[in-house]
């Protein structure tokens, strides 16, 4: 298994409609084990074990065309992230599968949030994933 070192402490996206974005992110991140931490009137932080790694805040200008990838514990979590995100206002960018340009172990799904940010859930499988759709190209 790959051992990864944390290189980014946290990410913040500025959003226009905090309630709508909160609904999307709260639902989409739950299957990944991330929950709301420190909700405030104008911001909501997400993470696990008191580590607020991702925050959305109401303001201007909004964050657009950003990209953030959330770590998942397995295929089921990636699939659940994708379904929850789309059900809560995200648009499809790349359906769950093995993104072969990254590796045969890179199982991920991609959505665009309400401001067209590329939001991803990824599972780095310990072995090549052979029983999933192959997704060539860049989402």
Q: Tens digits of per-residue pLDDT, 96-110?
A: 999 999 999 999 999
List, as own/partner pairs, every contact residues 80-86 make where C-beta atoms lie below 8 angstroms and the sequence separation is at least 24, other chains included.
Answer: 80/31, 81/28, 81/29, 81/31, 81/32, 81/109, 81/121, 82/109, 82/111, 82/121, 84/27, 84/28, 84/30, 84/31, 85/24, 85/27, 85/28, 85/111, 85/113, 85/119, 86/111
Tokens (6 digits) for 125: 């499988």
pTM: 0.94
pLDDT at 1: 58
Q: Which stretches of the chain score pLDDT less than 50? A: none
Q: Half-sphere exposure (CA, 13 Å, Cβ side) for 49?
A: 1
């Amino acid at each position: 298994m790959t051992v990864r070192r944390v290189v980014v402490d946290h990410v913040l996206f500025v959003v226009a409609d905090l309630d709508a974005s909160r609904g999307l992110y709260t639902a989409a991140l739950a299957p990944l084990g991330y929950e709301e931490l420190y909700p405030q009137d104008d911001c909501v932080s997400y993470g696990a074990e008191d580590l607020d790694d991702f925050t959305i805040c109401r303001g201007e200008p909004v964050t657009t065309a950003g990209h953030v990838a959330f770590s998942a514990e397995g295929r089921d979590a990636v699939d659940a992230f994708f379904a929850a995100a789309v059900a809560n206002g995200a648009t499809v960018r790349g359906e769950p599968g093995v993104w072969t340009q990254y590796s045969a172990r890179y199982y991920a799904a991609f959505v665009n949030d309400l401001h067209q940010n590329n939001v991803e859930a990824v599972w780095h499988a310990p072995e090549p994933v052979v029983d999933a759709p192959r997704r060539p190209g860049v989402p």
